[in-house]
Amino acid sequence: MDLQTTIYVVVGLSFALYIGIAIWARAGSTSEFYAAGGQVGPVMNGMATAADWMSAASFISMAGLIANMGYGGGLFLMGWTGGYVLLAMLLAPYLRKFGKFTVPQFIGDRFYSKSASTLAVICLLTASTTYIIGQMTGVGVAFSRFLNVSSDTGIYIGQAIVFLYAVFGGMKGITYTQVAQYIVLIFAYTIPAIFISLQLTGNFLPQLGLGGTFSGTDMSLLAKLDSVVTDLGFGKYTTTTAGSTLNMFVYTLSLMIGTAGLPHVIMRFFTVPSVKDARSSAGWALIFIAILYTTAPAVAAMAKLNLHATVNTAVKAGGDLYAPEASLKYEERPDWMKRWEKTGLLKFEDKNGDGRIQYYNDKTKNDAAKAKMDAAGWKGNELTVNPDIMVMANPEIALLPNWVIALVAAGGLAAALSTAAGLLMAISSAVSHDLVKGVFMPNISEKGELMAGKIAMAVAIVISGWLGLNPPGFAAGTVALAFGIAASSLFPAIMMGIFSKKMNKEGAMAGMLAGLAVTLFYVFAHKGIFFIKGTDFVDMIGGPNSFFGITPEAFGAVGALVNFIVAFIVDKMTKEPPEHIQHMVEAVRIPRGSKLVDGAH
């Protein structure tokens, strides 16, 4: 079969699998709709959690970001993995013991206030809606490349698939579908990496190939990559950092606590029978996540080296990288470049009119590289590569078999759809369980609540699709913004709710409002929606609209600090929580009596 037919078959079979599972596992009660009946085993829940957590950002974007940023891209590995460990150790078991369906329900009961629950719903909806824009956009990109449809059509198809297994199946259908999606995405990620590692280093395991010797030379793979990128004027791959040391630290911390505060991931721990199973499933999820996360650095380095080798023959053959004949003729570009050019994520501009593709850093501070560029008469870098294509295009660049390329297409779609479903579940449960039942209609029947949940899910799918089709102007970094919102609003409230029995409702609500407000203010100021006045002060703290050089994507950690400070100040100025609330907090933290919890009370 040709490539396109193979892609249609593999992706079609994966979609049929998801829909079939949804029909088999459709939810018949609110317990099944919100928490899969609380009867999912730890291994299966660990697999579903891994799929829920490893979104399009992990599958499609992370290796591309590392490939683009080099060493500095490691902050995504550290932040997201560290955040999951934080969630597994400090939050998940205690929330499971508390025995509620949702994060806002925990906050509402812990802080004995419907207002606190409603505020948590607002924070949850803000973070989840922002996050889902990136997932739907990723679905559109993947469809437009692999199914030869427009990105808009791709989003419509993605909406329909998610609707079929999320609305009817609820958390039960989503859980078992995510198990299947994890299997698809992990094979899709690791099989091409194994092929390419064997090609470039002779090592079967990509993790070993990253530190192995580049085939045909006595240089290590990373040393070869460093040599190539520095000779072409780029920063050294193994040492380049993401801005200042302070920014890298705060960025990593923001991703960590943002991950721990993401409601759609926390909800996964409500689906297991007991606290012991919650801890066990957290460990299994970390193992399943580690398979992809330890492979990603190898995928990034190998994809970057393969890309340079494609457009510059001297990378593998040796010789002068700046020699005109070393650059690929545009008319002789491989088919994969033609296919990705159609998406707009790969662009060529022949600035010097020689018909060849010069791919180098024309903003380099490398004097030797500048001299070679000037001698060759070049007029600027001619190839623009969106980092998001690195994983998806990697098998095509390496000329792997068609079935491997098709598998990657299915994996990318599985990653985006699995997280989109988890986010939609969090949104649906917040609206139906925490707002409709918790605030507006406390006496609603179980059947009515189940219908409200399905309607909320359907509406959320429509809204998320619309946002994917018409992303707001500030949504360039939507995924990072979602982590910042979760970090600055939900994470501190959950932590204080578990570990500070003296924290009262006034402190928690003031902290959430302050953390969310300062984070959104900082992000919007950077996006030009409004500006900080007083240029002397702004310049003093790190440049226009900047706080000590901290980027908006990293500001969630600062927002969380503001949250904690405001919460404790307000707490000291107001009365303590009731005695029964303090006893409840102690009971949640202490292991005694932590057997089965059914989530129904």
| Cβ-contact 394, 75 below 8 angstroms | no
| Cβ-contact 237, 71 below 8 angstroms | yes
Is the pLDDT at 89 greater than 50? The verdict is yes
Q: Which of 43-52, 319-328, 499-508 has the highest mean pLDDT?
A: 499-508
- 596: three-class secondary structure by DSSP: strand
Give the number of other CB atoms < 10 A from CB of residue 471: 15
Sign of the C-alpha dihedral computed for residues 336, 342, 344 and 348 taken in this order: positive
What average pLDDT score do residues 504-521 get? 94
| Cβ-contact 162, 417 below 8 angstroms | yes
Q: Which residues have CB under 8 Å from 554's CB, separation 6+?
A: 247, 250, 251, 254, 484
User: What's residue 600's pLDDT?
Assistant: 43
Is the pLDDT at 137 greater than 90? The verdict is no
Report the run of H or E that residue 290 belongs to, with start and end: helix 275-293
Give the number of other CB atoms < 10 A from CB of residue 1: 11
Is the pLDDT at 28 greater than 70? The verdict is no
- Among residues 296, 128, 250, 293, the alpha carbon closest in space to that of 553 is found at 250
Q: How confident is the model at residue 376 (pLDDT cuts 50, 70, 90)?
A: low
Q: Which of 285-294, 432-441, 450-459 has the highest mean pLDDT?
A: 285-294
User: What's residue 422's pLDDT?
Assistant: 79
Query: Cα separations (Å) of 577 from 114, 567, 587?
Result: 15, 13, 15
Question: How distant is the alpha carbon of residue 510 from its chain centre?
Answer: 28
Q: Are strands 346-348 and 328-329 parallel, antiparallel or unpaired?
A: unpaired
Q: Which of 341-345, 512-516, 580-584 has the least mean pLDDT?
A: 341-345
Query: Cα separations (Å) of 343 from 107, 337, 339?
Result: 44, 10, 7
Is the pLDDT at 595 greater than 80? The verdict is no
Between the two ends of the chain, the Cα-to-Cα distance in Å is 55
| Cβ-contact 128, 263 below 8 angstroms | yes
What average pLDDT score do residues 74-99 get? 84
Q: How confident is the model at residue 35 (pLDDT cuts 50, 70, 90)?
A: low
- 189: three-class secondary structure by DSSP: helix
What average pLDDT score do residues 462-488 get? 73
User: What's residue 196's pLDDT?
Assistant: 92
| Cβ-contact 176, 264 below 8 angstroms | no
Report the run of H or E that residue 86 belongs to, with start and end: helix 74-86
What average pLDDT score do residues 138-152 get? 74
User: What's residue 533's pLDDT?
Assistant: 43
Amino acid at 353: G
Give the number of other CB atoms < 10 A from CB of residue 289: 22
Q: How confident is the model at residue 537 (pLDDT cuts 50, 70, 90)?
A: very low
Q: How confident is the model at residue 527 (pLDDT cuts 50, 70, 90)?
A: low
Q: Which of 65-74, 330-339, 417-426, 473-482 has the least mean pLDDT?
A: 473-482
- 385: three-class secondary structure by DSSP: strand
User: What's residue 541's pLDDT?
Assistant: 40
What average pLDDT score do residues 437-444 get? 83
Q: How confident is the model at residue 498 (pLDDT cuts 50, 70, 90)?
A: very high
Spatial separation of the C-alpha atoms in residues 209 and 186, rounded to whole Å: 18
- Among residues 403, 405, 189, 413, the alpha carbon closest in space to that of 300 is found at 189
User: What's residue 599's pLDDT?
Assistant: 43
Q: How confident is the model at residue 294 (pLDDT cuts 50, 70, 90)?
A: very high
Q: For residue range 240-257, what is the model confidence (pLDDT) as tens digits?
A: 776 678 888 898 999 899
Max distance between CA atoms of the chain, in angstroms, equals 79
Q: Which of 276-290, 474-488, 493-507, 521-535 has the least mean pLDDT?
A: 521-535
Q: How confident is the model at residue 388 (pLDDT cuts 50, 70, 90)?
A: confident
**How large a percentage of the chain has pLDDT more than 90?**
20
What average pLDDT score do residues 444-455 get? 84
User: What's residue 414's pLDDT?
Assistant: 82
Both tokens assigned to 442: 């406390």
Is the pLDDT at 529 greater than 60? The verdict is no
User: What's residue 532's pLDDT?
Assistant: 43
User: What's residue 594's pLDDT?
Assistant: 43
- 90: three-class secondary structure by DSSP: helix
Is the pLDDT at 476 greater than 50? The verdict is no
Give the number of other CB atoms < 10 A from CB of residue 528: 10
Spatial separation of the C-alpha atoms in residues 403 and 388, rounded to whole Å: 21
Report the run of H or E that residue 97 belongs to, with start and end: helix 92-98
User: What's residue 543's pLDDT?
Assistant: 47
User: What's residue 153's pLDDT?
Assistant: 83
What average pLDDT score do residues 472-483 get? 60
Q: Is the model more confident about 152 or about 305?
A: 305
What average pLDDT score do residues 172-196 get? 88
Amino acid at 93: P
